[in-house]
Amino acid sequence: MYRCSVSCGRGSSQREIACVYPNGTQTEEQLCGHLPRPRAQKACRTGACPVWKAHRWTECSVSCGPGLQSRRVYCRLKGSGRVGPERCDPHTRPADHQACLTSECPRYTWLTGEWQDCNATCGAPGTMGRAVGCVGPGMTPVQEDHCGASSPSRPPSGQACRGAPCLHTWMTGAWTQCSVSCGVGYEHRMVSCSGAPSSPGPHPYAGPASPSPQCPGPQPPHAKQCLLRACPHTASWKVGPWTKCSQTCGAGVMERQVECLTAKGQPSKHCAADRPESRAACRETECQQFTSCREVQVQQGVRMDGEFYLRVGPRILQIYCAEMQSDFPKEYVTLRSGQTDNYSEVYGHRLLNPFQCPYNGSRRQDCECRHDYTTAGYTLFRKVRLDLDSLRIMTTDLQFSHTPLGRPVPFASAGDCYSAAKCPQGQFSINLTGTGLAVAEATKWTSQGNYVSVKVHRSEDGRRIYGRCGGFCGKCMPQEHNGLLVQVQ
């Protein structure tokens, strides 16, 4: 029986040949040597074979410089259409990505002018300025946005400086009248060390100011005693009633008015030196402990937003209560370390060649990049919302945040579209110092996107977290299962 050697296309089929007696018993082939030998093989053809089919290339991914273009490739069988890729030869599969280059991108750079004279004299600290602009091809001035107006690579338009040292001399003013009309008082005059520049020209600023050069000789006195006449002792201290304690519970302060008056009730400066106290500590009752802003609102009738002391776990922490005019106030933690230590960033620059990591991964504004990542942003945080039941920071609540650049970025998140070579540029920072909280060990960060690299550094006490994340394109954020968990310290 013939059987074709291939399942599609052209092949061959074979059969076995044997010499037999009329009764079908097989014998030696030379006994059939006088007979023509039948064919043992013949050509065969089955159905058509599947082949790879490639669509047209897409447009280049960039308008200038090196980019990428792609096309769809699939396995096709004539008469049947698209079939599984395993039916086509993987070694002959056409490429579905290739590099492309449209045109060279224009290069922009910063241009600086000459420094102006220092605006300070006599060795005092001051500033000096210069013109800074962005130029394109042919040194043509363009908008600063082309060079990255707010980027760290922008040359400074001002710098600190010192004026020329001065030759100093003591200057004194006229004595004032005696400070009292009777008794011992004081006369005063202005005494200053003044000087004129010893040499022209600015002096570059070299650090913190050192003490001014001393004028020659000792400093003249700026005060002296005076006595016009003896004073009659007719004035005495008068005190008013104590005010209520400044706090309705816990430690507070009470005050009273203390005045020096004559027998006729006129203000005087001639009372004895032992002035009565005008402030004193007080304590009414121990404060009631609350566990939520809603309890403060309901039990104390408070309707104003502000800082309150709430019991959170084993400690009393200062919590900011917001939306106290509504039935559902929210709890926030004020970040005592400030906005500069609590931020999230999605970096906006993208490498023209995304498969490299220049400058050993450090950020440079003069990189061969374009600044067109549409989800880029930089957000600063003053307060973050805290779920008191789960001790989880709600990272997407941006009520007390500020986004000076681009789109808002959630707390504890970062990303970029900079490079596919483990070269993250997006950053986030958390500093819970002074809040009584720390990031829990159970808090982990997860990635999202392509070629993502995540580098998170945690301080030993968990109060400070710094992360760098990014890819092509990608980001990181706290894992959805736990979120950003914190613990009371």
- Regarding predicted confidence, which is higher, 476 or 289? 476
Q: How many domains does the chain have?
A: 3
Share of the chain above pLDDT 90, in %: 39
Same domain as 368, residue 299: no
Find out whether the peptide bond into 134 is cis, omega within 30 degrees of 0: no
Rounded distance, CA 457 to CA 409, Å? 20
pLDDT at residue 202 is higher than 50: no
Same domain as 451, residue 344: yes
DSSP conformation class of 413: -
Q: What's the pLDDT score for residue 7?
A: 73
Q: What's the pLDDT score for residue 233?
A: 61
pLDDT at residue 211 is higher than 60: no
Give the best-scoring range by mean pLDDT among 186-190, 240-244, 472-476.
Answer: 472-476
Rounded distance, CA 442 to CA 279, Å? 49
Q: What's the pLDDT score for residue 437?
A: 95
Same domain as 346, residue 482: yes
In tens, the pLDDT along 357-409 reads: 999 999 988 899 999 999 999 999 999 999 999 999 999 999 999 999 999 99
- Regarding predicted confidence, which is higher, 317 or 250? 317
Last residue of a domain, one of 273, 305, 332: 332
pLDDT at residue 184 is higher than 80: no
pLDDT at residue 44 is higher than 90: no
- Regarding predicted confidence, which is higher, 60 or 181? 60
Rounded distance, CA 234 to CA 383, Å? 58
Rounded distance, CA 315 to CA 309, Å? 10
pLDDT at residue 251 is higher than 90: no
Q: Which residues contact 307 (CB under 8 A, 6 or more apart)?
A: 318, 319, 320, 321, 334
Q: What's the pLDDT score for residue 197?
A: 63
Selection from 75, 77, 95, 78 nearest residue 86 by Cα: 75
Lateral strand order in the sheet of 109-112: 109-112, 132-135, 141-142
- Regarding predicted confidence, which is higher, 229 or 78? 78
pLDDT at residue 1 is higher than 70: no
Residue at 397 is within a domain: no
Range with the lowest mean pLDDT among 46-60, 191-205, 268-282? 191-205
Same domain as 344, residue 325: no
Average pLDDT, the chain: 85
Whether 305 and 276 have beta carbons less than 8 Å apart is answered as no
b/e for 317-346, b at 16 or more Cβ within 10 A?
bebbbbebeeeebbbbbebebebebbbbbb
Selection from 472, 332, 348 nearest residue 403 by Cα: 348
pLDDT at residue 284 is higher than 70: no
Same domain as 479, residue 359: yes
Last residue of a domain, one of 311, 332, 353: 332
In tens, the pLDDT along 423-480 reads: 999 999 999 999 999 999 999 999 999 999 999 999 999 999 999 999 999 999 999 8
Rounded distance, CA 141 to CA 131, Å? 13
Last residue of a domain, one of 332, 359, 392: 332
Same domain as 327, residue 357: no
Mean pLDDT computed over 188-215: 58
Whether 319 and 293 have beta carbons less than 8 Å apart is answered as yes
- Regarding predicted confidence, which is higher, 354 or 15? 354
Domain that holds residue 79: 44-60+71-88
- Residue 122 structure tokens: 């006599």
Residue at 142 is within a domain: no
Selection from 76, 69, 75, 79 nearest residue 90 by Cα: 75
Mean pLDDT computed over 271-292: 79
The amino acid at 324 = M
- Residue 387 structure tokens: 């779920």
Mean pLDDT computed over 93-103: 87
Q: What's the pLDDT score for residue 447?
A: 94
Phi, psi of 86 (to 5 degrees): -70, -15
The amino acid at 81 = G
Residue at 118 is within a domain: no
Same domain as 359, residue 307: no
In tens, the pLDDT along 310-347 reads: 999 888 899 999 999 999 999 999 999 888 899 999 99
Selection from 224, 165, 162 nearest residue 191 by Cα: 224
Residue at 482 is within a domain: yes
Give the H/E segment covering residue 293.
helix 293-300
Same domain as 314, residue 454: no
CA angle 400/404/406 to nearest 5° reads: 110
Selection from 74, 110, 73, 123 nearest residue 95 by Cα: 73
The amino acid at 217 = G
Whether 330 and 400 have beta carbons less than 8 Å apart is answered as no
Query: Residue 208's pLDDT band (boundaries 50, 70, 90)?
Result: very low
Q: What's the pLDDT score for residue 26?
A: 83
Same domain as 417, residue 325: no
Same domain as 302, residue 345: no
Residue at 269 is within a domain: no
Residue at 361 is within a domain: yes
Whether 395 and 477 have beta carbons less than 8 Å apart is answered as yes
Q: Which residues pair with 43 in a beta bridge?
A: 12
pLDDT at residue 209 is higher than 70: no
Same domain as 353, residue 311: no
- Residue 45 structure tokens: 């053809």
In tens, the pLDDT along 8-25 reads: 877 888 888 888 888 878
DSSP conformation class of 144: G
Same domain as 429, residue 325: no
b/e for 136-147, b at 16 or more Cβ within 10 A?
eeeeeeeebeeb
Residue at 344 is within a domain: yes
Q: What's the pLDDT score for residue 287?
A: 65
Residue at 404 is within a domain: no
